[in-house]
Amino acid sequence: MDIRTILIIGAGTMGRQIAMSCALGGYTTILQDISGSALDAARTDLESWADGRVAKGKLQAEFADAALARLSQSTELDASAAQADLVIEAAVERLDIKRSIFAELGKNAPAHAILATNSSTLASSHLAEASGRASQVCNMHFFNPALVMKCVEIVRNEQTSDETIQAVTAVARALGKEPVLVNREIPGFIANRMMGAMQREALNLASAEVASITDIDTTARTALGHPMGPFELMDLVGLDVIDFIAQATYAETGQALDQPHPLITQKVTEGKLGRKSGEGFYEYRR
Ligand code: 3HC
């Protein structure tokens, strides 16, 4: 399948970096969001990221400029969808909103277009029916920061066709990513299940005052070779996101183990969401 134009829905932390990855991969890319100011903030952020890469000698200026020229932005979902061969939806993690987006995409995207969701918690089978093209729907789950992390989990639902899987796998490779295939829908897919287990243990150790969060993070880095400790990583991902993932997983599994951890709930209640709010388990200078 010939994929030339990719539409990314949602200009948040994930959407904007997925869009830039697509533009750098040579695709004509449209970043769509209902908020014009979110799109402008994303553009400013990506331009400054590109400037930093050029200054560091990691990206040629002409290459960065060409990628930014391939990346357009729009607040119009229907008109953008009409141009797309592949859509990667990275909007807010709400089923009702995603369903209405997929219904619009089903009506407005060309018949051949594949509709993927970046969701880590909502399996694509929940969106397949709304789209009216179930065999062309799957999850394409990127990791934060998406311009850096290589893995893309490609998750098929019962109706996803082999052609769809082959096409999105080829796109992920063209972006320089390492796609992995998840053969059936399971809460948390692969990475968030493993990450959740590690975080649960770290949170339990800290709650029981066995060690400080700093020492737990140091142990993860220096004993296990992780690039970040679990608390540093939760601050990076966002404690609201960690809380939401736990809630969604618990709603699906009903296992007490999956419930949001009280330490996370407390931080979220206090508005301490991690790096994005300036404080989580650690404090960040603005
Ligand atoms: N955006 C873009 N690029 C970034 C970045 C960001 N937010 N943060 C760091 N980078 C780049 C830097 O520019 C640098 O690039 P270079 O080496 O080519 O010059 C490179 O990443 C390394 O950055 P630093 O030297 O500043 O710092 P580190 O070496 O500590 O790396 C890190 C930062 C890449 C974030 C690394 O610590 C890491 O891999 N951490 C783990 C991240 C992780 O586990 N992500 C998955 C989260 S789970 C998830 O996303 C799923 C979701 O469903 C919740």
Boundary-marking domain end, from 151, 182, 213: 182
- Assigned domain for 281 exists: no
Residue ranges making up the domain that contains 254 = 191-276
Q: Which atom of ligand 1 is nearest to the CA of 56?
A: 19
Q: Are residues 251 and 110 in the same domain?
A: no
225 Cα–ligand 1 center, Å = 15
d(CA 186, CA 256): 17
**Tokens 């357009």, residue?**
72
The CATH code of the domain that includes 253 is: 1.10.1040.10
In a domain, 195, yes or no: yes
Burial class (CB in 10 A: 0-12, 13-18, 19+), 161: middle
Q: In which band, very low, low, confident or very high, does the pLDDT at 1 lie, cut at 50, 70 and 90? A: confident
Cβ atoms within 10 Å, residue 223: 8
Number of domains in the chain: 2
b/e 252-276 (16+ beta carbons within 10 angstroms → b): beeeeebebbebbeebbeeebbbbb
- pLDDT of residue 196 exceeding 80, the answer is yes
284 in any annotated domain:
no
Residue with tokens 């908020």: 35
Q: What integer pLDDT is reported at residue 246 of this predicted model?
A: 93
Q: Would you say the CB of residue 281 lies under 6 angstroms from ligand 1? A: no
- pLDDT number for residue 286: 73
The enclosing domain of 70 has a CATH number of 3.40.50.720
46 and 176: one domain? yes
Distance in Å from the first CA to the final CA of the chain: 45
Q: pLDDT per residue over 117-135, tens digit each? A: 999 989 999 999 999 999 9
Which pLDDT belongs to residue 5? Answer: 98
Cis peptide before 187 (omega within 30 of 0): no
Arithmetic mean of pLDDT, 9-18: 97
Question: What is the rounded distance in angstroms from the CA atom of residue 109 to the CA atom of residue 107?
Answer: 6
Q: Is the CB of 147 under 6 A from ligand 1?
A: yes
Eight-class DSSP state of 274 = B
Q: Tens of pLDDT along 211-244? A: 999 999 999 999 999 999 999 999 999 999 999 9
- Based on the domain organization, do 211 and 149 belong to the same domain? no
